[in-house]
Structure 1
Amino acid sequence: MKDDTPNKDGAPSGLDRRRFLQMSAFGAAAVGAAAAGGTAVATPAVAASGAGSALAATAVAAAAMRANSAAKVPLENVDMTKTYVNPVNLPFLDVGARPSTMPASDAGVAAVTPAMRATLAKERWLPADGRSMVRQAKTGFALATENSSRTAADFSPILVDDTIYLYASGSMLGDTGNINAWSTKDYINWEFHEMNIGATAPTVVKVGAKYYLAGNSTGVWSADAPFGPWTEMGPFTRKDGSVFTASDVQFFLDTDGRLYMSYNIGAPHMAVELDANDPRKFLTDPVVVWNFDPNDEWQHFGENKQHTTHGYVEASQIFKVGDTYYISVASGGTEHTTYATGVAKSSSPLGPYVPQDANPVGQALEGQAQFPNAGHGAFIVDFNDNLVFFYTIVIAYEQGSQRRMGLDICEVAEDGTISARLSNTPRLAPGLTQNGTDDVGLYNISQLTSAYWASSYAPGRLPIYAMDHSTQTWWEPADGDADPSYIVGFANVFYISSAQIQWKELGLTFTKRNAVRYTLEYKDIESDTWKPLADRSANDVAYTSDYVVFDRVLTHAVRLKILGTTENVKVGVTAMNVFGENYTFAKEKGLFLPPPPPALKVELTATPRKIGSKIHVTVVATNNEASPLDITLSTPYGEKAFTSVAPGKSASVTFNSRASSIEAGDATAKLSGVVNGATVTETKTVAYGALSA
C-alpha cells in the first residue's frame, strides 16, 4: 500500500553514494575446505560492535566467506530436519482474488492527465512528486490476471521468552486479509494462528503484560496475549492532542523501558517517543531519521533502479544491537526483484543516524539467486543472541506483487556494520552451525538441465517452465489429465537430500486452506525402478513453497505425482527445486587430485666458520619425523649422503671451502623417506652468510 501525500518536513543531508551490487565481500557463502562429521551446534552470530555490544563475538562471518570460484563441500551426517530454504514454507498464506482484464482498446492508455502536466510544471520536486508521476504515467494501463494468488509480506517479528511471534500483511483485501500470524521456537516448525483483527504492515510490541498492535493508517489495539483477542484503544495523538495517522508504523521498546515509533511511506522517515503506558500518545515532536537521496542507487525505484526521482522508501524500523541503535528502511518498490534494505547507526533511538557504507545489507549469493531481493521486513536479536533478518521476497506479478518470506542470519562487524547473506539453498536454522558453517553444501541441481518429462501440458504452460529459473512461469498439466506427473532429470548423478516445490494454484476459487497432495519418487539406479522419497498423499497443510527433506540417495531423476488438492483445485508447478551434490561421488571416483604431502619435519642449519686459515661451512639436518630418512647434504664445496637417519638424530658434515673468504650462499638437503605409508621426497635449502678469514 502506498501513501503519496507529500511530507513537508525538512530533510537531512543525503547518504553516501553506493552502487547497488556492491556487496562483493558477502557475495558467497563459506564452506570448509574438507567435509567432516559433526553435530549442528548453536552459535551466536553477533559480534561486539563498536558501540560496545554485550553480545558474544563469533567467527562465523569469517568462516562463512568463500571465493566465488570455490566449490561447495557438503557437510557429512548433517541433520536435514534442522534445515530450511527460502522462501520459508509458512503455512496457510492468505489468498487474494483480483480478476482483471486489459481494456478492450488502447483509447485512454498512456493518457496525459492534468495531474501529470501540473507535476511536470513544478520548478522543484519532492520525492512524493516522483511517486505521483509513476501513478500518472500508468494511466489507462491494467494488469491482466487469470488466477488468485497467495501472498504474505511486511514481516514484523517479536521475541517473547523462547518464542518468535510473526505478523505480516496478507492479501490487503480488507482487514480480513491480514489476520494471519505465525509462531516458532526453532525457525523450522511454524504454527499458524488467526487473529480477530487485521492490519496492513502490522507492528506489535509487548510492554509489561500487555501487547499492542498498529498498522497502516490505524490506531492502536491492545491484548493480553500475542494473537489477541485485540481491543481497539483509539488513534495516535500528537502532543497537542490532535489525531495522527501514518503508514508503515513500527514500535521499538528500548532496554530502559522507553517506547518509540518510526513511520512513513515515502520520504522522509520520522520517529517519535511514545508513552509506554499508553502507546497512542506522542511524548515528543517527530524527528527525521532517514531521507531519500537520489545519489544512492540502491534506493531508486524500478526493476533496474532507473527512477532517480524517488524510491518508495518505506518499512522503517528502529532496533538495537548492544549499545548501538539502528534504523532500517526498504526501498525500490515492493513489486520489484531489486527491492532492498539499508541501515543507519546512531547512539540514540531518535538519531541522528549515519548510514553504513555497506548498504544494502543483503545481496544474493552464489550467482544462482532466484530471489535476489530483501525488502520490507525487520531485524530481531533472537533467543540465541543471533541477529536475524526477516524480509519480503517478490515472487511473481500476476496479481501485482505476490510475495513470500525469507530469513537469514546477519553478521555484525566490530565497527557495527551489518551484513546479511541472502540464501536460497538449504541452510541450518539460524544459530546452528556444523564445522563452522550453516551452509550444508548442496546445490539446486534441477534448474535448466534440459532433462524433463510431463504427463501433459496445457497450451503455453510447457514443462520447462517448472525448471526455468523464473517464478513468473509455470508448468500446468492439460485439462483432463487424471494423473498428472512431472519428471525432472539432473543430467548427472547426485546425492539428494531435500526438495522444494513452489506450487501454482489455478483459478479464482481456492482459499488459504487449499492443500496440495502428492508423492515424490526417485529413480533407483541399481533396480531401474521408482522408489519413494516423500508421501504427502494425506497432506492437509497448505504450503506454497513446500520444503521436504528425506534420506540421502544417489539418483539422476525425481518424479512428482500430483494427487489433487483438498479443494479440488487444479495446480501447476512454478519451480521444482531439488537440492543435492556430487562432490562425494566425484571424490569416490578419484576425480580430486591428492593433496600435496606435508613438509617433512627436518630442521636444517648452515654455519660458516674459520678453521685455521680457511673458511668451512657446517651443515646439520635433524630428523624430527617418526620414521628414518635418507638425507643428502650439499654446498658449493661438496656433497655427502646419509642413509636411514633415525628419528631424533642428525646428519652433519663440515665442508672445507679451501678459501680464506666466501660469499653468502645456500646449503641444500635432499630428503627421502616413508611417512604414513607413502614415499615422500623433498628438498630444503637454508642460507648462510659471507665470511672472511
Structure 2
Amino acid sequence: MVINTRDTYCNPIVLPDYPKLRAISRADRQDVWGRSGKVMLSEADIMREAGLEISDVQLLYADVRSHEYGRIAENDVRATADPTVCYFDGRWYLYTTSGGIYDSDDMVHWTAHFDDTWMPISAPMAPTVERFRGGYYATANSTPLHIADNPLGPWRLVGEWTLQDGREVLCNDPMIFADDDDRLYLYWGLGISIMGAELDPERPNMFLTEPKVLFQFDPENWWERFGAGNEDWFRGFIEGSWMVKLNGTYYLTYSAAGTEYFNYCMGAYVSDSPLGEFKLQPSNPVSRSRTGFIKGGGHGSIVRGPKDTLWCFYTIPVSADAIMERRIGMDPVGVAADGSLYALTGCDVPQFKPGILERPEDGNQAGLVQLCTFKPTLASSYAPGHYPLLAVDEALHTWWQPAEGDNKPQFGVLLQGKYFISAIRLMWKDIGLHFDAGIDVGPYQYSIEYSDRAEGDYWTTLVDATENEIDLTVDYRTFDPVLAVRVRITITGSPEGVTPGLLDFSIFGVSAYHRKNKGEERV
C-alpha cells in the first residue's frame, strides 16, 4: 500500500499541556479530602479479616521507595501515566494521572480539558471512569466516587466506598467496570493483591458483595518479581487492574513490578465471570517492552478503536529526574490462538493510526525507519555532560543541552546517506524547571531545515514552528517526502526560565536506494 505519513502516529503519543510533577519538592497533600480522623479499611485489613496470609511485600516496597539514595532530582518535570481510555458516543476520552481530561475523534489527535471539579483537585492518581445508567462515574487512588452528566465533567461527589456493614474502604488503583447485564463492579489493589466486588447499581459507592481477593503476587510468575531483571523472588508489586470482556471471556489485566523499571508490564488472568475464579491466561505478559527506545508497558487500559480493532494504552518510564517521570504509549492488541491477549508494545517508529489497517495486531509499522541513531551530530554548543550525541542515543534518560548563554541553540545530524524523510519526532527536556520558584512551562518554538548536500550552506525549511503556541513535550510532525542528507533544528523560543533540552531527536524515512523486483533501483 502507498504510505501516507499523515495516516501515522508515533510513540510516545502526542498530548498537549502535559501535566506537571514536582520532583524537587512536593506539595503537602495531607487531608486533601478533609477526612482527618477517619478509620478506613485498607487492602491489608480486608485480607486479614478474610484470614488470608499477607506477605511483607507492601511494607518492603514502601521502604524501598522511601529512600532518596541515587535519586537526587535536578528539575521538576512533566509527567503522566496510568491511562484510562473510554469510548463514549463517537469519541475517545483519556484520563491520566495528575492530568486533565483529553478527548479525540481518532485516538491520535487529543484536546486537553481542565475542570476544577475533576475529583476535585484536578490531579487524580490512576483515575478510572465508566458510564453506567446515563451517568459517568469516576474515582482514583484513595478517592471517593464521583459522577458527572458528561465525560468532561463537571463532577460531583457521590460518597466514600462503603461495605455492607457501613465501614468505609480505601481503594487504590481502582477500575470501575459495567457489564452488559446492567451490573457494576469495582476492581482495585496496590501491592499485595488484586481485589474485586460487585456494587449496588442504585447506590454505586456501596458494595453489594464482600471484597474478594481475585489473585495475589506469585513469584513463580517471573514478570511479577521486583527489579529491573525480575531478580527478587521475595518482593513483588501488583497493581493497575483493568477489565475487558471479549467474546464472553473476562480478561483482568494488572501491572507489575515497579513503574520506574523498563520491564514494567501488564499480565492477565481470565475467567468466565466478572469475579472469578480467575486463572492465568496461557501466555503472559500481555504488554512488555524491555529493549529499544520505547520501554515499559505497564498500568494501562485496553479499548476498542475504529473498525472494531483493539488498542492498549500504557505507561512508558523515563525516570531522568524522578521515578514518576513517565509518558504514554499506544499499540495494537490481538487475541492469540490460545485465547491470550497480546499487545505489540514498544513500537518506536511511525505506525498507522487506528482505522487504517483491518488487522493492526498482525503488524502496524508504516515502513519508515529511524535514521538518526548514533549518527554524527553537531551543535552550536553543549552543557557539560550533555553532548549532542545524547539526543540520538535511543535513550529516554539522556539529553542534549545547549550551553548557558546560547540564545539561539542549533542541533544537526548527518544521515550518512541519501534518504527520503517524511516524519520527525521531538521530545523536550525542560532544564531548570522548578515550580516552587515560579518557573512554569509552555510552548517550544523552532524551525527544522534539511539539505540534500553533505556540505555547504544549502538549507531548505521543512517545518516552521517558530510561531507555535501549543505546549507539546512530545512533538510528532509529518510532511511530504523530501530527499535529505542533513537535518538541523534551530530553537527560537522556549518557556521563560527554562533551558531547552532534547531527550530525543528522530527523523524517519526510507533509503533513496531501494530494492525492486530483486534488482536495485536508484532514486
- After superposition, give the CA deviation of every residue in 1:181-202 in whole Å (9 maximum; x if it has no partner): 1011112210111122232111
- After superposition, give the CA deviation of every residue in 1:353-372 in whole Å (9 maximum; x if it has no partner): 1111221113449x6x2122
- After superposition, give the CA deviation of every residue in 1:503-560 in whole Å (9 maximum; x if it has no partner): 0111134677511001111113399611111111111111111111111012122101
Q: Percent of aligned pairs with the same residue?
A: 33
- 1:194 to 2:103 alignment: no
- 1:385 to 2:305 alignment: no
Is residue 100–residue 143 contact of structure 1 (8 Å, CA) maintained in 2? Answer: no
The CA deviation at 1:398 is 0.8
Is residue 522–residue 557 contact of structure 1 (8 Å, CA) maintained in 2? Answer: yes
* Residues 139 and 434 (structure 1), Cα distance of their counterparts in 2 relative to 1, 3 Å cut: closer
Pairing partner for 1:133 from 54, 60, 73: 60
Q: How does 1:566-577 map to 2 (within 5 A)?
A: 566-567=495-496, 569-577=498-506
- After superposition, give the CA deviation of every residue in 1:231-260 in whole Å (9 maximum; x if it has no partner): 112101111121111101100011111110
The CA deviation at 1:155 is 0.7
What CA distance in whole angstroms lies between the structure 2 residues aligned with 1:169 and 1:140? 22
- After superposition, give the CA deviation of every residue in 1:287-344 in whole Å (9 maximum; x if it has no partner): 2222211011111111111121122100011211121111000001011111010111
- 1:403 to 2:323 alignment: no
What CA distance in whole angstroms lies between the structure 2 residues aligned with 1:396 and 1:263? 25
Is residue 503–residue 545 contact of structure 1 (8 Å, CA) maintained in 2? Answer: yes
> What value does the CA root-mean-square deviation take over the aligned residues?
2.4
What CA distance in whole angstroms lies between the structure 1 residues aligned with 2:219 and 2:54? 9
Q: How does 1:252-651 map to 2 (within 5 A)?
A: 252-364=177-289, 369-422=292-345, 423-433=347-357, 438-449=364-375, 451-509=376-434, 513-525=441-453, 529-567=458-496, 569-582=498-511, 585-587=513-515, 592=520
The CA deviation at 1:401 is 2.4
Pairing partner for 1:217 from 112, 127, 142: 142
What CA distance in whole angstroms lies between the structure 1 residues aligned with 2:113 and 2:441? 13
What's the counterpart of residue 96 of structure 2? 168
Matched residue of 1:351: which SS? coil
What CA distance in whole angstroms lies between the structure 2 residues aligned with 1:140 and 1:544? 26
The CA deviation at 1:165 is 0.7
Amino acid at match of 2:95: Y
What CA distance in whole angstroms lies between the structure 2 residues aligned with 1:126 and 1:476? 51
Is residue 447–residue 469 contact of structure 1 (8 Å, CA) maintained in 2? Answer: yes
Matched residue of 2:235: which SS? coil
What CA distance in whole angstroms lies between the structure 2 residues aligned with 1:579 and 1:307? 39
What CA distance in whole angstroms lies between the structure 2 residues aligned with 1:531 and 1:128? 63
Amino acid at match of 1:379: I
What CA distance in whole angstroms lies between the structure 2 residues aligned with 1:286 and 1:470? 42
The CA deviation at 1:590 is 8.2
Is residue 127–residue 309 contact of structure 1 (8 Å, CA) maintained in 2? Answer: no
What's the counterpart of residue 104 of structure 2? 184
Worse-superposed segment, 527-536 or 126-135? 126-135
What CA distance in whole angstroms lies between the structure 2 residues aligned with 1:239 and 1:100? 40
Amino acid at match of 1:371: I
- Which blocks of at least 5 consecutive residues in structure 2 are unaligned? 27-51
| TM-score for the superposition, normalised by structure 2 | 0.87
What CA distance in whole angstroms lies between the structure 1 residues aligned with 2:81 and 2:377? 33
Is residue 540–residue 566 contact of structure 1 (8 Å, CA) maintained in 2? Answer: no
Is residue 331–residue 343 contact of structure 2 (8 Å, CA) maintained in 1? Answer: yes
What CA distance in whole angstroms lies between the structure 1 residues aligned with 2:445 and 2:240? 36
The CA deviation at 1:578 is 1.0
What CA distance in whole angstroms lies between the structure 2 residues aligned with 1:100 and 1:591? 61
The CA deviation at 1:470 is 1.2
Count of residues in Structure 1 that have an aligned counterpart in Structure 2: 483
